[in-house]
Amino acid sequence: MKHFRYAFLWILVIFILCNMRPSALPSASLFFPGFDKFVHVVFYFVLCFLLCDAFYRQQRYGLLGLLPITFSTFICLFYGGLIEVLQMKVFTYRSGEWSDFIADAIGTFMALIPYYIYRKIKPASHEQNA
């Protein structure tokens, strides 16, 4: 579980920021049009990268270590969809949008190639000890 601590912390950050009242957040249009979507892409890029690395480095459950990209992608897409549904049904002061979910998916898929390159450059800690 220690490998997942940063991913869990990032999941919490995403949850809090995506469900804050809009009045507590700066207007996204202050920066540039579409800044909100850019933030979604960055959130899920980081989350997917952290989850891939955590799944890969954990040694307890072999299958999770063999398919880190698959499990990470599924979790990110599920979580992105869940946040949007929660915004529509529970946190009704926010609006769940398909475009936010698409931005989440883009961020998720954008993380896969850099993660693959990172994995080739830096071996896992259990590989270094072998």
Q: Kindly report the pTM of this predicted structure.
A: 0.83
Handedness of CA 15, 96, 77, 124 (dihedral sign): negative
For 64, the domain range is 36-128
In a domain, 44, yes or no: yes
For the segment 2-16, the average pLDDT, to the nearest whole number, is: 93
In a domain, 13, yes or no: no
Distance (Å, whole) CA 83 – CA 88: 9
Tell whether the model's pLDDT for residue 129 goes beyond 50.
no
Q: Tell me: the pLDDT tens digits for 79-121? A: 999 999 999 888 877 777 899 999 999 999 999 999 989 988 8
In a domain, 86, yes or no: yes
Q: How many domains does the chain have?
A: 1
